[in-house]
Structure 1
Amino acid sequence: MEHNQSRRAALKFITGAPLLPLAGVGSAATLLSACAGDGTEAAASSSAPTISSVAFTSMDAPSLAVPAEMATTTVKSTLVVSYSNGSKQSYALKYQPFFVTGDLVSDGKGGTILAGGYYDINNKPIMDNSVAGKERQFYSDSPDGSSLLTLPKPTVTGVKGNTVFAVVQFEYTTRDQSLASMYGLLPSPIAVLTLDQDPATGNLSLVKYHNVDTSSVNGLWITCGASLSPWGTHLSSEEYEPDAQFISSNTMFQAFSKNLFGDASKANPYHYGHLPEVTVNPDGTGSIKKHFCMGRISHELIQVMPDNRTVLMGDDYTNGGLFMFVADRETDLSSGTLYVAKVGAGFSIDPAAAAAPLSWIKLGSATSAEIQNLANTLKPSDILTSVKTDPADSSYTKMYLDGAAHWVKLKTGMEKAAAFLETHRYANLMGGTMSFTKMEGTTLNIKDKIAYSALQNMQSAMVKGNAANNAALGIAIDKAVVAGGVLAHKLGGGQKDTSGTAINSEWVPMQTSCLLIGEDLATADALGNTANPDKIGCPDNLKFSEKLRTLFIGEDSSTHVNNFLWAYNVDTKVLSRIMSIPAGGESTGLHAVDEVNGWTYIMSNFQHAGDWGSIHSKVQATLDPLIRANYKDRFGAAVGYLTGMPKA
């Protein structure tokens, strides 16, 4: 222990901010320090070895040999740090939750608040009355996107060390107490956590939980992945935008409206499917706004480029697209230009294949205010006509939306409204490659100028011969890969859109290729996996660490019995399993933070543990009682981060 403490002290003050692995109980894992001590400490460390590389060892997938490991967050991976003098130090990783949803946590005012709790438009708790005599407030079992950040002059009381803030959003809740589905029926909560960071260890502890008032933006709809903007705000998401053209038959949206407003007909579908942005205040509260000018798509997890203007957006949708937004001004997403990609010849999911070119179709330019005004005043029928049976009319365009055939006709003069409120339909009309299936998280490798996008699966619209596939749009793979993959997009400047107009950005995706791919199994293995458990399966969350040169990948898989969190080193090409999620759960909330007061953090949550599917038939009977005991009878899920301890 003395040796480890000495090494930490020596490395902490090396100039040039080297990577600093953690060396204290409960401290945040894998960490770098930009601290500069006094002159004596700096001089004393001038001859100390520097870090030459960092790697993760891969843990085995848990099995029924130890059922308890399949029923919780299991971490048996190791961080290995190599130094310039040839020595190495290993750090055993573990998972540290801030809370499990449903816990009563501090509200910072001397009282408590329900973690993950739901509230209506008047900020009144939404109650679960489904079982007589067991009335309680709804709370989420599906925490998702998170951000970790600091502010220069925080004012929260009760913090003993450094004040750090986290924003956490809750996508949905799976079921009520009667076990009826609640997916999409409740307005998504979003919370600001005030955390106390121990300056000596990096350990984070919860001091205050604040539920953000979302009434000014008409509540939130199915908030999924998230990212931290370069200017320190939390960029949320609203996925699976409610289809306004057929909203009268959408009973899920009507129930959402009833729970939010107390009126099944009050919610306006055009108010949802946008990009919310949360600003954290020094007192640990938060304010929110929605950007209506970034396309109304199935927003999942966006990435803002270092120019503070260019935004790459995935689209968690069947027959989805790759979208880009270029803001008019830095650090301001309230106006700009929206584009959709068109994939050129040669697209392949073979990682050894050459990249395919990308071109960009301009969909429109707008301010958030003008599109919000259109959302407030236009009816769906004012913008276009969309039908599900062939009208035998050549003025309609056939397209596939979420796997189903539609015929669409745009109303005269409604181009801008369609571009920003009916984005999927308009992108199809404009010739965008709307063939991707469930493009989820996006992230950025700044040094190599490469962006990454997760495809949870590669099927239906992507597959040659499928009714929903249009090979002329550049994608027609020979065989579906249910286990999905990760795309890499090379970025650059000097690009023009398809009309010949210059795109004002140096961070435009110019070509795309497949970086990683899952492997479907012909028959399920002994545990029930239908995809190779030693490869990625249905990637979802993606985050890249510049300092660790590592792409972190979280799974949302119906092909792995346990979903995993992976670390892929882009230099060594080594893929390492670093955490296993409770069976039936999904890895979410991924956030790799290179530096917060000298420490690096890997944030991670999970959702809906014990949400059993057909692949769990061999394990469900054994694991179900364990997961119920661990996570509030399957109603709870953890929000937390990875920590590490030095190994002898």
Structure 2
Amino acid sequence: MEHNQSRRHALKLIGSAPLLPLASGLSASVLSACASMGSRPAARAVSFTSMAAPSLNNPAEMATTLVKSGLVVDYVDGTQQTYALKYQPFFMTGDMVPDGKGGSILAGGYYDINNKPIIDKSVAGKERHFYSDGPDGTSLLTLADANVPGIKGKAVFAAVQFEYTTRDQGGNNTYGVLPSPIAILTLDQDQTTGALTLVKYHNVDMSSAHGLWITCGASLSPWNTHLSSEEYEPDAQFIADNKVFKAYSKNLYGDETKANPYHYGHLPEITIKPDGTGSVKKHYCLGRISHELIQVMPDNRTVLMGDDFTNGGLYMFVADKEKDLSAGSLYVAKVGAGFSLDPNAAGASLTWVNLGHATSAEIEALANTLKPADIMTASKTDPNDASYTKVFVDGVANWVKLKPGMEKAAAFLETHRYSNLVGASMGFTKLEGTTVNAKDKIAYSALQNIQASMVKGNAAWRESVGITVDKAVIAGGVFAHNLAGGQSDVGGKQINSEWVPVRTRALLMGEDIPSDALGNLANPDKIANPDNLKFSEKLRTLFIGEDSSTHVNNFLWAYNVDTKKLSRIASMPVGAESTGLHAVDEIHGWTYIMSNFQHAGDWIPALHGKVQATVEPLVRANYKDRFGAAVGYLTGVPVLS
């Protein structure tokens, strides 16, 4: 159980260290996780040992965050040190945690536009403050001028966002009906062990950003801000039929008609302040798409974006200025011949359609003033009018007609439909997390599922987009994109970036299987339904978190891009998604792997039918009757030989 206080204390007593502080050649500091180990020479290489997947031989292991993997450090003098990895939570959602003012605050709690708690009234006499079971994107960082009372070592900060809550106390589906909170955690870093202890939890005021909608994955910007996301943008063209959005508006504003759909589906940026508080700025010029998480390249200007959508695209933004996402040019990819699921294939070329240039302020102004019908007409039935164009939006046929002079508004507020109109390759399904290997100039994207709009002959598939496979791979895969400079868009205009994806190819693939003895529908020894991706430059490792409908337990993997070794390093509670992934190469000499999960015990009958009866009581006991979820990180304990 992640909230067991004695377990937390025991790990600290035996010299628990957040993964490890790596020596020169990989990081700047010297190994000191356990004083009895003495001084060490420089580290030459780092590798992970893989753990077995949990099974019904030990149901308790299926019902918790299980870490039985290791990390092996090889030194230049030929010696070696192994670390046993463990999971260390900061809190479980629903816990009362310190507010830094001598009081406490509900972890993962929801608030309306006036920062008043939103109350779950679904069961008479049991009203309570709503809290999330869906912690997601997390960023860990430090500030040189940190000033928070109660710090005994050094202050470290984390931004943690909460995507949604699965159900209310009455068992009703509450996905998307609550405004997503983001919290700032102030953590006290022990300078002997590197362990992190929560001393302050601060809920960021989102009123200036109109509240946040379904915040999913996230990344840390090179300039030390938390880059959030708003996923599955509410479809403004058919918003009158959207009961979820009406409920969201009711919870946020107290009025189901007040929220404006064009205010959501954008990129919020969180700036953490030295006192452990934070502020939000929502950017409206990076496209209104199903933002999963973005990756800013080392130039501080080029942004590669996930688009967790059916009939989605690969999007890129190039900012006008470094470290400033408030203005720039938006691009969407065209995929050339050769798209393949074979990791040995050369892959397909990528070229880029320029959707336009805008500032965040001007697009927010358009969002404030324009109605969907001002921008375009969209119908889900064929109008039998040649002036309309048939496109597919989230797997559904639409017939679309752009209003004269509305190109910019369409590009930034109706981005999916407009991308279809200008000939982009809108055929990806659930193109999720992105990250970059800067040394090799390779970016990575997770395709959670390869199905529907990607499969030849499917109703949502179109041959013209250049993304075609003969058979679905529900388990998905990870793709690698070569990056280069000197590129021009399809109109011949130069792209002002040295980090443009120019070719995409399969890197790692999942494997669908018939249901095995446990119920897995994908090979448990390969990745399945990858979602979160983060790359560690120092460890030369791609970390992969799963959001799977095919693995009974979702896993966190480490893939060394040099040795090609894939290691399972953690298992989430059964039915839970691996979220909050963040690989932090160095903070005050220590290396961290952040990891959360969400919706433990989210049962899929076809997947969990063989284990649910046995494991469900354990999950309910561990995680507040399935209402709780953990936020934390991996630690490493030296193994004495």
TM-score (norm 1): 0.94
Query: CA offset at residue 37 of structure 1?
Result: 8.8
1:555 to 535, 541, 546: 546
Tell me the residue number matched to 2:343. 351
The match for 1:16 is: none
Say which SS state the counterpart of residue 513 (structure 1) adopts.
Answer: strand
CA–CA separation in structure 2 for the residues paired with 1:642 and 1:157 = 26
**Hey, what does 1:196 align to over in structure 2?**
188
Aligned residue for 1:590?
Answer: 581
Instruction: Please give the per-residue CA displacement for 1:108-135, whole angstroms capped at 9, x wherever unaligned.
Output: 0000000000000000000011111111
Amino acid at match of 2:259: A
Q: Does 1:603 align with 2:588?
A: no
Aligned match of 1:628 in 620, 630, 633?
620
Q: Residue 531 of structure 1 aligns with which residue?
A: 522
Alignment of 1:420-569 (within 5 A): 420-521=412-513, 523-569=514-560
Report the equivalent of 2:299: 307
Could you tell me whether the CA contact under 8 Å between 2:23 and 2:41 is conserved in 1?
A: no
- What amino acid is the match of 1:147? S
Q: 1:71 aligns with which of 63, 76, 83?
A: 63
Q: Tell me, what secondary structure is at the counterpart of 1:172? A: coil
What residue is the counterpart of 1:243 in the other structure?
235
Question: Quick one: structure 1 residues 517 and 548, their matched pair in 2 at CA, closer, same or farther if it must change by over 3 Å?
Answer: same
The CA deviation string for residues 304-350 of structure 1, in whole angstroms up to 9 with x for no partner, is 00000000001000000000000000000000000000000111011
Aligned to 1:138: 130
Question: What does the per-residue CA deviation read over 1:201-232, in whole Å, with 9 as the maximum and x for residues that have no partner?
Answer: 11000000000000111100000000000000
Q: Which residue of 2 aligns with 1:392?
A: 384
Answer yes or no: is the 8 Å Cα contact 1:293–1:367 preserved in 2.
Answer: yes
Structure 2 partner of 1:617: 609
Task: Output the amino acid matched with 1:29.
Answer: L
Aligned to 1:205: 197
TM-score, normalisation: structure 2: 0.95
Among 241, 248, 252, the residue aligned to 2:244: 252
Give per-residue Cα distances to partners, 1:127-148, cap 9 Å, x unaligned: 0111111111000000000000
Deviation for aligned residue 1:32: 2.5
- Identity %, equivalent residues: 74
Give, in whole Å, the separation in 1 of the partners of 2:543 and 2:386. Answer: 47
* CA deviation string 1:579-600 (max 9, x = no partner): 0000010000000000101111
Deviation at 1:88, TM superposition (A): 1.2
CA offsets 1:347-400 (integer angstroms, 9 cap, x no match)? 101101112110000001000000000000000000000100111111111111
Residue 15 of structure 2 is matched in structure 1 by 25
Determine the C-alpha separation between the residues in 2 that align with 1:636 and 1:527. Answer: 25
Q: 1:281 aligns with which of 262, 268, 273?
A: 273
Cα distance change on mapping 1:129 and 1:36 into 2, 3 Å: closer
Select the residue among 542, 562, 572 that pairs with 1:581.
Answer: 572
What is the SS of the residue equivalent to 1:79?
strand
Deviations 1:216-256 (A, max 9, x none): 11100000000000000000000000000000110100000
Distance 2:308 2:399 in 1: 22
Quote how far apart the aligned CAs of 1:30 are.
Answer: 3.6
Task: After superposing the two structures, state which structure 1 stretch, 466-475 or 143-152, moved more.
Answer: 466-475
Partner of 1:7: none
The answer to whether the 8 A contact 2:23-2:42 is kept is: no
Q: 1:571 to 1:288 in 2, by over 3 A?
A: same
Residue 52 of structure 1: how far off its partner (Å)? 1.4
CA–CA separation in structure 2 for the residues paired with 1:30 and 1:324:
35
Does the 8 Å contact 2:22/2:28 carry over to 1?
Answer: no
In the alignment, structure 2 segments of 5+ residues that lack a partner are: 1-11, 31-36
Structure 1: which 5+ runs fail to align? 1-21, 39-44
Matched, 1:94 2:86: yes
Q: CA deviation at 1:467?
A: 1.9
1:161 aligns to what? 153
Aligned to 1:419: 411
Number of corresponding residues: 620
Name the CA distance, whole Å, in 2 between partners of 1:284 and 1:194: 6
- Cα distance in 2 for partners of 1:388, 1:33 equals 60
1-structure distance, mates of 2:570, 2:639: 18
Shift of 1:49: 3.0
Relative distance call for 1:389 and 1:443 in structure 2 (3 A) is: same
Alpha-carbon distance in structure 2 between the residues aligned to 1:77 and 1:385: 54
DSSP 3-state at the match of 2:367? helix
8 Å CA contact 2:16–2:636 kept in 1: the answer is: yes
